[in-house]
Structure 1
Amino acid sequence: MTHLSVNLNAIAFLRNRRSVPWPSVVDIARIALDAGADGITVHPRPDERHIRRTDVFELVTLLRQDYPGREFNLEGYPSEDFLTLVERAHPDQVTFVPDDPLQATSDHGWNIEANRAVLAPAISRMKAAGIRVSLFINADPSAPAAAASVGADRVELYTGPYGGALKAEVQAVHLAALKETADAARAAGHNARPGQGGLQVNAGHDLNLINLPPLKHAIPDLAEVSIGHAITADALVYGMAETVRHYKVACS
């Protein structure tokens, strides 16, 4: 089964609109985990416009004390400040994204070859700390081999173009590209690391209850999806617990 990691950035963004402590990121995380979420994802940006550094450590405490076995995934650009934060928090997984600090959200994957000098030492440092590393990539069959060559354990497919496609024929083109990239990831992992089971595939961005099942059908061994915006929007209708249960069914 594909694991569901609930991204809490939108919850934190809502909280930060006022100088009050609600909605509580930790309390919403607890509701999601109690409803069956397999993990929690946050992307602490340098300006703390949504997730704050204090949130990161409060979530670490929640997960380690009350939900052993559930995963914590930290997303971010591999700057020195972020790498130090990851080492201190020690999540199960770090997902490196090529975001400019001013970006509203992630909107493209890595050009890995052009950023090898940034990525290779950062990945080595994280793996020395015992943290699994995923790289955010576009739907590009050449990207997984590059990711494996710099030491990544997983890739996360940027599904924004697929999720944002309003016409079925356009969505089908993007879905085919994602499937081809996932196929390339399996091969790249086996070729780069014989006997270690291949490069696993995560996915995220603009996934929802409608477009997630076709993605899962196209990539049956999808390891994890990280979903925040759609889950938060659906939670306004169904409540967070029921929404998580709906997404767990979509992941099955």
Structure 2
Amino acid sequence: MRDRVRLGVNIDHVATVRNARGGVHPDPVRAAREALAAGADGITAHLREDRRHITDTDIEALVALCAGSQRPLNLEMAVTDEMLAIALRHRPHAACLVPERREEVTTEGGLAVAGNEARIAPVVSTLKAAGIRVSLFIEADPRQIAAAATVGADVIEFHTGRYCHLQGQDQMNEFSRIRSGAESADQQGIEVHAGHGLDFATAARMLAIPHIRELNIGHFLIGEAVFVGLDAAVRRMRTVMDEACR
């Protein structure tokens, strides 16, 4: 039996629904509170440049909630001066550096760390100096993993969206690529997380990789909550993950 794998719940799309009509309902902070009560180990939120879902006010409230509940907040952020300043002001437990394009519907692919070390390394260093744990959202590519080690990342989170959308042998090949990447990262002293597109079935399969310590799941859980409620959706994911670790 392996150690318990942490579950981070991304509450971005609660804010997406709220922002579709304006106002304050549904409240992503309330969703975060319910997710933690249902067994989530932490909360993830992406403050985008265009503020299309999570807002600055949300981040301020989430920082207070997570501090009060002694659970970590993982702030997903682009590698920009604006986001660095926000992270330094709020000091979340962790910051995950992600790629970001205004025209994308959701995060597409991993951050290109290789070739951009000179831009990313100072941001990593500044965040770490402020006591913020730094993660990089990347593809399971040897070049990106090596670059993540070079810039001093504490954690890498593998983008699992491609794996979740593939089928058959192509999916098996992608799984092997993620497994090999996780082994390599672990050998280099980097903690391994995974996320994007995961549901009950793909999350369980991902935990066949022993080096993965945390899954971050959002869209599927918020969508499932429409039918069964957020409490039930998070509790079932927690059960699925625990059973996969036995």
| TM-score bracket, shorter-length normalisation | over 0.9
SS of structure 1 residue aligned to 2:109 = coil
5 Å-filtered alignment, 1:68-87, equals: 68=70, 70-87=71-88
Contact 2:186-2:211 at 8 Å conserved across structures: no
What is the match of residue 195 of structure 1?
none
How many Å apart are 1:221 and its aligned residue?
A: 3.1
- Which secondary structure state, in structure 2, belongs to the residue aligned with residue 133 of structure 1? strand
- Preserved contact between residue 126 and residue 132 of structure 1 (Cα < 8 Å): yes
Q: Give the TM-score, by structure 2 length.
A: 0.94
Partner of 1:135: 136
1:205 corresponds, among 188, 196, 200, to 196
Q: 2:11 aligns with which of 4, 8, 12?
A: 8
Aligned to 2:178: 178
The answer for the alignment partner of 1:226 in structure 2 is: 216
Shift of 1:176: 0.7
**Aligned position for 1:20:** 23
Per-residue deviation, residues 44-88 of structure 1 (Å, max 9, x unmatched): 1111110001000001111112x11x1100011110110011111
Q: Is the 8 A contact 1:2 1:221 kept in 2?
A: no
User: What whole-Å deviation, never above 9, does each CA across 1:154-191 have from its counterpart, x for those lacking one?
Assistant: 101010110112x232221111111011011012x2xx
Cα distance in 2, alignment partners of residues 163 and 55 from structure 1: 29
RMSD: 1.1
SS in 1 for 2:116: helix
Q: Using the TM superposition, give the Cα deviation of residue 145 of structure 1 relative to its aligned residue in structure 2, in angstroms.
A: 1.8
Shift of 1:15: 0.2
Query: Of 217, 223, 243, which aligns to 2:233?
Result: 243
Q: Partner residue of 1:153?
A: 154
Is 2:51 aligned against 1:60?
A: no
Alpha-carbon displacement from aligned partner over 1:93-145 (angstroms, at most 9, x marks no partner): 10001212332211111222211121100000000001010111112133222
Partner of 2:40: 37
User: Would you say the 8 A contact 2:182–2:211 is kept in 1?
Assistant: no
Aligned-partner Cα distance in 1 for 2:230–2:159: 24
Paired-residue identity, %: 38
Provide the C-alpha distance between the structure 2 equivalents of 1:20 and 1:112, rounded to a whole number of angstroms: 38
Cα distance in 1, alignment partners of residues 143 and 207 from structure 2? 21
Query: Could you tell me whether the CA contact under 8 Å between 1:142 and 1:184 is conserved in 2?
Result: no
1:111 paired residue number: 112
SS at match of 2:152: coil
CA distance in 1, matches of 2:85, 2:7: 26
Whichever residue aligns with residue 55 of structure 1, its letter is D
The ranges of structure 1 where at least 4 consecutive aligned residues each deviate by more than 6 angstroms after the TM superposition are none
Long gaps (5+) in structure 1: 190-197
- SS of residue matched to 2:23: coil
Measure, in 1, the Cα distance between the counterparts of 2:175 and 2:114: 24
d(CA) in 2 for partners of 1:90 and 1:133? 11
8 Å Cα contact 1:4/1:224 also seen in 2: yes
TM-score normalised by length of structure 1: 0.92
Aligned counterpart, 1:194: none
For the residue of structure 2 that corresponds to 1:16, the secondary structure is helix
CA separation in 1, counterparts of 2:86 and 2:29?
Answer: 18
